[in-house]
Amino acid sequence: MTGAEKRRTARISQILDAAALCFVEMGFHRAGMAKIAARAKMSPGHIYHYFESKEAIIAAIVDRESAKAAERFAELDAVDSNELASVMTERAIQSIEEKTDILQSALNMEMLAECQRNPEIACIIQRHDKYIRDQLTHLIGNKIGLDLAEARTDMMMVQFSGLANRLLRNPDMDLSSMIALMRQTMQSILTPDTIGDHV
Amino acid sequence: MTGAEKRRTARISQILDAAALCFVEMGFHRAGMAKIAARAKMSPGHIYHYFESKEAIIAAIVDRESAKAAERFAELDAVDSNELASVMTERAIQSIEEKTDILQSALNMEMLAECQRNPEIACIIQRHDKYIRDQLTHLIGNKIGLDLAEARTDMMMVQFSGLANRLLRNPDMDLSSMIALMRQTMQSILTPDTIGDHV
């Protein structure tokens, strides 16, 4: 990466972080480009140089998440099929322990609420979700070789979304004492024929 | 209930339903009392006769949920301890099948997003959450007699919140094919010592 590219990347990152804070603190509707610029300590013109609208900023925030996820999926795709279920469970637990934070959770809620009134944002969120789902379904169905791969994928994602949601409703939640239960739940979602009795 | 009480209850219900729609469609900030009144086909003065603010309306929406939950918890409290885990699982599955809808999910996201900027709403949401948690923890810890009752409670609630969240992210989600996995997950959360290996 050249110096100019690095500066550009840093600048964009600075805008996305400032925008995320503004969306959470003011709500998407009130967080105008001028407020995002002030928060990022840039001129509004400078922001418009990179992003034409708040929706474009949301798209970039979501794309940044997709890029991080793509790296993790590439790593998982290289894991031996026999070990994949346990590696996926441990990675999931690790990411819950490290990365479950209030700001990210609140931003997700704000974006999901906005989905109902802004079709452009709904489209961005649902496209990202489909990307994550396709990757997980590939790992679960093709590599681990489980049936009901789409449903198992959605159930894995229920755990992540649900936890983010819980964190906002119960700020005293003891994440560490939930980890063992979460591991067990994820293991059972990634285990064959355990649901045979109930189908 | 007298005729006057019935009319009052119906009127309040009409306001709460209209407000819920306005909050989802416009966002909490833009959904003013005048807009809620128009949606409920009442005069603003009439709305203020029942509710002094939007926050009071949110509190009443949440109280209505608490009252419904209280009925369900009273029924569960009367179930034989030995059967409680399976009855709770079946009731949970039933309520997922019957009541998981986009409007309620979107309203929850809107309220959770608003929590970050409105301490009064945060307080209402967190008090409701604590009420539900206390009831579930009582059933899981005292009646079924499981350890880690608080963590199991939060994990049960992760399933509900997570599903509501998924519905907004993946409108094509096939709920019926997830039901068997969801049942299995809830059973394992309500089963003793299955997590012994991992603690």
Proportion of chain B above pLDDT 90, given as a percent: 81
Give chain B positions within 8 Å (CB) of A129.
Answer: 169-170
DSSP-derived secondary structure for A133-176? HHHHHIIIIIIS--SSHHHHHHHHHHHHHHHHHHHHH-TT--HH
Give the number of A-B residue pairs with CB atoms closer than 8 Å. Answer: 187
Provide the pLDDT for residue B78: 96
CATH of B1-52, one of 3.90.280.10, 1.10.10.60, 3.40.190.10, 3.90.580.10: 1.10.10.60
Q: Per residue in A39-52, pLDDT tens? A: 999 999 999 999 99
pLDDT score recorded for residue A199: 40
- Write the pLDDT tens digit of every residue in B12-49: 999 999 999 999 999 999 999 999 999 999 999 999 99
Q: What is the pLDDT of residue B193?
A: 64
Is pLDDT above 90 for B83? Answer: yes
Q: Who wins on pLDDT, A7 or A193?
A: A7
CB A28 within 8 A of CB A54: yes
Q: What pLDDT sits at residue A64?
A: 94
- Decide if B155 and A188 are in contact by the 8 Å CB cutoff: no
The answer to whether A55 faces chain B, any CB pair under 8 Å, is no
* pLDDT the model gives residue A171: 87
Please state, in angstroms and as integers, the Cα–Cα distance from residue B77 to each residue in A83, B61, B86, B140, B148, following that order: 43, 24, 13, 10, 19
Cα torsion angle, A181, A187, A188, A189, sign: positive
ipTM computed for the complex? 0.88
From the list B117, B126, B178, which residue is nearest A154 (CB)? B178
Q: Does A86 touch chain B (CB under 8 A)?
A: no
Predicted local confidence at residue B97, as pLDDT: 81
Q: Which residues contact residue A172 at a Cβ distance below 8 angstroms, ignoring those fewer than 6 apart?
A: none
Contact B19, B54 (CB under 8 A): yes
Ranking B127-131, B135-139, B180-184 by mean pLDDT, the lowest is: B180-184
pLDDT over 50 (residue A198): no
Average pLDDT over residues A60-78: 95
> CB distance B106–A116 less than 8 Å?
yes
Residue B61, pLDDT above cutoff 90: yes
Which residues on A lie below 8 Å from B194 (Cβ)?
184
**B-chain residue closest to A166, CA distance:** B158
Mean residue pLDDT across chain A: 92
Number of H helices, E strands in chain A: 9, 0
Residue A54 pLDDT exceeds 70: yes
Nearest alpha-carbon partner for A79 in A91, A94, A93: A91
Lowest mean pLDDT among A62-71, A117-126, A145-154, A165-174: A165-174
Name the residue among B30, B166, B169 with its Cβ closest to that of A29.
B30
Where do the structural domains in chain A lie, given as residue ranges?
1-52, 55-192
Residue with tokens 């346990």: A86
All residues of chain A having their beta carbon less than 8 Å from the beta carbon of residue B168 are 112, 115-116, 125
Read off the tokens for A43: 């001129």
Answer yes or no: is pLDDT of A134 > 60: yes
Which pLDDT does position A193 carry in this prediction? 64
Alpha-carbon radius of gyration of chain B: 19
Q: How far separated are the first and last CA of chain A, in Å rounded?
A: 53
Separation in Å, CA of B185 to nearest CA in chain A: 6
Provide, for chain A, the percentages of residues in helix, strand and coil under a 3-state DSSP scheme, each rounded to the nearest 5.
Answer: 80, 0, 20
**Per-residue pLDDT tens digits for B96-117:** 887 678 888 899 999 999 998 9
The residue-averaged pLDDT of B114-143 equals 95
How much helix, strand and coil, in percent to the nearest 5, is found in chain B? Answer: 80, 0, 20
Name the class of domain A55-192. Answer: mainly alpha
SS3 category, B101: coil
pLDDT above 70 as % of chain A: 95
- Chain B partners within 8 Å of A155 (Cβ): 178, 181-182, 185
CA angle B45, B49, B55 (to 5 degrees): 100
Three-state secondary-structure class, residue B190: coil
pLDDT at A196: 47
Shortest CA gap A6–chain B (Å): 33
Averaged confidence pLDDT in chain B: 92
Return the exposure string of B94-127: e unless at least 16 CB atoms fall within 10 Å of the residue's CB, then b: eebeeebeeeebbbbbbbbbbbbbbeebbebbbe
* Spatial distance between the Cα atoms of A185 and B159, rounded to a whole number of angstroms: 10
User: Does the pLDDT at position B195 exceed 60?
Assistant: no
Q: Do B169 and A114 touch (CB under 8 A)?
A: no
- Print the SS3 string covering B59-74: HHHHHHHHHHHHHHHH
Would you state the pLDDT for residue B196? 47
C-alpha dist (Å) from residue B178 to A47, A163, A199, B10, B188: 43, 18, 10, 36, 15
Predicted structure pTM score: 0.89
Give the pair of three-digit tokens for residue A14: 């600075």
pLDDT at B172: 87
- Mutation for B interface: A118, A169, A187, A198, most B CBs within 10 A: A169
Pick the residue of B30, B102, B155, B160 with the most A CBs within 10 A to test the interface with A by mutation: B155
For residue A149, what pLDDT band results from cuts at 50, 70 and 90? very high
